[in-house]
């Protein structure tokens, strides 16, 4: 009998065989383990993303949600409130010309290579490059006070996305991480209210759309979410890209020979292996799909990572091919809740990887892929450590 057990290390290591079995034989599947429905076909996921009236985010979008988060963040609101808040937050993302981040990111990438990687034969791409870069990019973007709680922010963001595999809920350490992050966000908001700068938090406090501002709780929750979403998703995106380029040297060589392939290679990385594997919705009415009737109030997992490998959408989906047109992938979600950080994240990863490939063009996995530990999260998937060896 097929199982969809999000709470096992085997599934974290390889969800793709299960995804295929579900796409082919159980496209609308009730998971006893998750106590939720699971959609795995690309078309069904895209339709659900468009139909927010039926597939609501208002009860939370994390597969295992934090109490008190739903309704207070962008990802956990439905229109019209969602659209109002999004236009305020988006106005901030747009107002800032994100191109100004290119030089700082280049510098951060060069420094990370010089300080953590040069002179080593084996290095941890996760810690030495992705982790450092992600924190610093987020700190620059949000205007976090310098050197404040660097490790705590990283550690708590990582803990927030995990679930206790035994209880299948957020455990005390995950709740404590969420509380810590909320307090930290409140401190940053308070600081920027007193002493505004040109950073995102200062702009969130003052941004107005149609004479409306965000209230302070919304600013605090938005900053909490940006820290979690930013650190885990951006770090994960970079780690998985590094993992793919280490695993497929002939694809990496194509990029080195023609750097203009880098943007497509990144899109293909998000199709093949997105770090944002699964998000959740709640049904607002009884809904029948592929002969299964899902009830109002049931939770549904949209398995983005499975939709991206759907052979009904992509030819040879299990092949990582940097020259393929991977348009339409749902590696950053879609519809109303399409990732708001998508341009910043793409810019950061492309800029950083360009420098990395220039300075460290030849590398491979330092240990067999079976030995990698994957983050224990029902939403996200990326290697905890990624030891690479220079060639
Ligand atoms: C700077 C980094 C990032 C920031 C600040 C950020 C922020 C956000 C925000 C605020 C949302 C909610 C949007 C809404 O509901 O209207 C969102 C959604 C999303 N983001 Fe990001 N994000 C970042 C990076 C990434 C990356 C790198 C990925 C994937 C590789 C990603 C995947 C997603 C997905 C899948 C959703 C949709 C969630 C859902 O369907 O409920 N994000 N992001």
* Helix H or strand E encompassing 292: strand 292-294
pLDDT for 165: 74
| C-alpha of residue 340 to centroid of ligand 1, in Å | 6
pLDDT for 96: 58
pLDDT per residue as tens digits for the range 39-63: 999 999 999 999 999 999 999 999 9
Separation between Cα atoms, residue 391 and residue 218, nearest integer Å? 48
SS3 at position 29: strand
pLDDT for 166: 77
Instruction: For a ligand 1 pocket test, name from 57, 233, 242 the mutation site with the most ligand atoms within 8 angstroms of its C-beta.
Output: 233
| C-alpha of residue 264 to centroid of ligand 1, in Å | 19
DSSP state of 115: I
Nearest CA to 22 among 7, 37, 10? 37
**Is the beta carbon of 282 within 6 A of some atom in ligand 1?**
no
**Is the beta carbon of 274 within 6 A of some atom in ligand 1?**
yes
Strands 292-294 and 55-56: unpaired
**Predicted TM-score of the model (pTM):** 0.94
In angstroms, the Cα distances linking 153 to 102, 145, 224 are 23, 12, 10
Separation between Cα atoms, residue 161 and residue 63, nearest integer Å? 10
**Is the beta carbon of 337 within 6 A of some atom in ligand 1?**
yes
Residues of the chain with pLDDT under 50: none
Question: How crowded is the C-beta side of 119, counted as CA atoms within 13 Å?
Answer: 4
**Is the beta carbon of 303 within 6 A of some atom in ligand 1?**
no
**Is the beta carbon of 275 within 6 A of some atom in ligand 1?**
yes
pLDDT per residue as tens digits for the range 208-232: 767 777 788 888 988 998 898 888 8
């Amino acid at each position: 009998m097929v199982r969809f057990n999000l709470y096992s290390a085997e599934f974290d290591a390889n969800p793709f065989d299960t995804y295929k079995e579900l796409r082919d034989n159980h496209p609308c599947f009730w998971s006893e383990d998750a106590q939720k429905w699971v959609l795995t076909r690309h078309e069904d996921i895209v339709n659900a993303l468009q139909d927010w009236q039926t597939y609501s985010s208002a009860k939370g979008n994390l597969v295992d949600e934090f109490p008190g988060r739903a309704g207070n963040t962008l990802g956990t609101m439905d229109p019209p409130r969602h659209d109002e808040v999004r236009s305020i937050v988006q106005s901030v993302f747009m107002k800032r010309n994100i191109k100004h981040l290119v030089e700082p990111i280049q510098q951060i990438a060069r420094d990370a290579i010089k300080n953590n990687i040069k002179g080593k034969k084996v290095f941890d791409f996760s810690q030495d490059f992705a982790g450092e870069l992600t924190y610093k990019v987020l700190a620059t973007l949000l205007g976090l006070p310098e050197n404040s709680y660097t490790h705590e922010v990283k550690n708590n963001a990582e803990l927030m996305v995990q679930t206790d595999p035994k209880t299948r809920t957020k455990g005390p350490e995950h709740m404590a991480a969420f509380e810590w992050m909320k307090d930290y966000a409140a401190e940053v908001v308070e600081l920027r209210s007193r002493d505004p700068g040109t950073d995102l938090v200062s702009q969130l406090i003052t941004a107005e759309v149609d004479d409306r501002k965000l209230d302070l709780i919304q600013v605090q929750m938005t900053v909490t979410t940006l820290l979690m979403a930013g650190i885990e998703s951006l770090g994960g995106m970079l780690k998985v890209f590094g993992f793919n380029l280490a695993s497929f040297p002939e694809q990496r060589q194509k990029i080195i020979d023609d750097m203009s392939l880098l943007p497509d290679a990144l899109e293909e990385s998000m199709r093949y292996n997105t770090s944002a594997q699964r998000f959740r919705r709640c049904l607002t009415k009884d809904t029948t799909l592929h002969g299964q009737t899902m009830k109002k109030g049931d939770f549904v997992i949209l398995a983005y990572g499975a939709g991206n490998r759907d052979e009904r959408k992509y030819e040879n989906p299990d092949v990582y091919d940097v020259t393929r047109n991977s348009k339409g992938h749902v590696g950053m979600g879609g519809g109303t809740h399409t990732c708001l950080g998508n341009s910043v994240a793409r810019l950061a990863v492309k800029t950083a990887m360009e420098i990395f490939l220039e300075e460290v063009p030849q590398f491979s996995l330092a240990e067999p892929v079976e030995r990698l530990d994957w983050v224990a999260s029902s939403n996200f998937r990326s290697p905890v450590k990624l030891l690479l060896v220079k060639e």
